[in-house]
Amino acid sequence: MKRSRIRIRRDAFRHRHRPAGATGKSKKSTGPVLLVGSVETCPDLEYASGFRAPDPVVFLRTREKDVLVVPPLEFGRALRRRKAIEVLTPERVGVPAGKRRQMSEWVTRLLRREGIRRVGVPSTFPHGIAVRVERAGVRVRVLEGDVFPERAVKSAEEVRKISAAQQAAVIAMRAAVNVVAQSTVDANGYLRIRGARLTVEHLRETIAKALLDQHCFCREPIVAAGAAAADPHEAGTGPLRAREAIVVDIFPQHLEYGYWGDLTRTVARGAPSPAIRRMYHAVRAAQTAALGCVRAGVACRTVHRAAADEFSRRGFATRTQDGRPEGFIHGTGHGVGLSIHESPSVSQNETRLRSGHVITVEPGLYYPGVGGVRIEDTVVVTSTGWRYLAPCEKRFEV
Q: Which residues bind its own copies (CB under 8 A)?
A: 4-5, 7-9, 11-17, 38, 40-41, 54-56, 71-74, 76-77, 101-104, 121-132, 140, 142, 205, 208-209, 212, 217, 219-220, 231-233, 255, 325
Among candidate residues 152, 157, 252, the one with its CA nearest the CA of residue 208:
252
Q: How far is the CB of 2 from its own copies (least distance, A)?
A: 9
| Helix (H) or strand (E) segment spanning residue 265 | strand 263-267
Q: How far is the CB of 232 from its own copies (least distance, A)?
A: 7
Residue 163 CA to residue 68 CA, distance in Å, equals 29
63 vs 219 by CB, closer to its own copies: 219
Q: How far is the CB of 122 from its own copies (least distance, A)?
A: 7
Q: Are 48 and 61 in contact (CB under 8 A)?
A: yes
Distance of CA 268 to the CA centre of its chain: 26
Q: How far is the CB of 69 from its own copies (least distance, A)?
A: 11
Q: Are 363 and 392 in contact (CB under 8 A)?
A: no
Q: How far is the CB of 397 from its own copies (least distance, A)?
A: 28
Among candidate residues 174, 186, 386, the one with its CA nearest the CA of residue 293:
386
56 vs 272 by CB, closer to its own copies: 56
Q: What is the DSSP letter of 147?
A: S
Among candidate residues 384, 306, 376, 317, the one with its CA nearest the CA of residue 347:
306
86 vs 144 by CB, closer to its own copies: 144
36 vs 153 by CB, closer to its own copies: 36
69 vs 242 by CB, closer to its own copies: 69
41 vs 302 by CB, closer to its own copies: 41
13 vs 189 by CB, closer to its own copies: 13
Q: How far is the CB of 54 from its own copies (least distance, A)?
A: 7
| Helix (H) or strand (E) segment spanning residue 79 | helix 75-81
Backbone angles phi, psi at 61, to 5 degrees: -115, 120
One-letter amino acid identity for 350? E
Q: How far is the CB of 215 from its own copies (least distance, A)?
A: 9
222 CB-contact burial (10 Å; exposed 0-12 / middle 13-18 / buried 19+): buried
316 vs 366 by CB, closer to its own copies: 366
Question: Rg for the chain (alpha carbons), in Å?
Answer: 23
Q: How far is the CB of 184 from its own copies (least distance, A)?
A: 25
The β-bridge partners of 43 are none
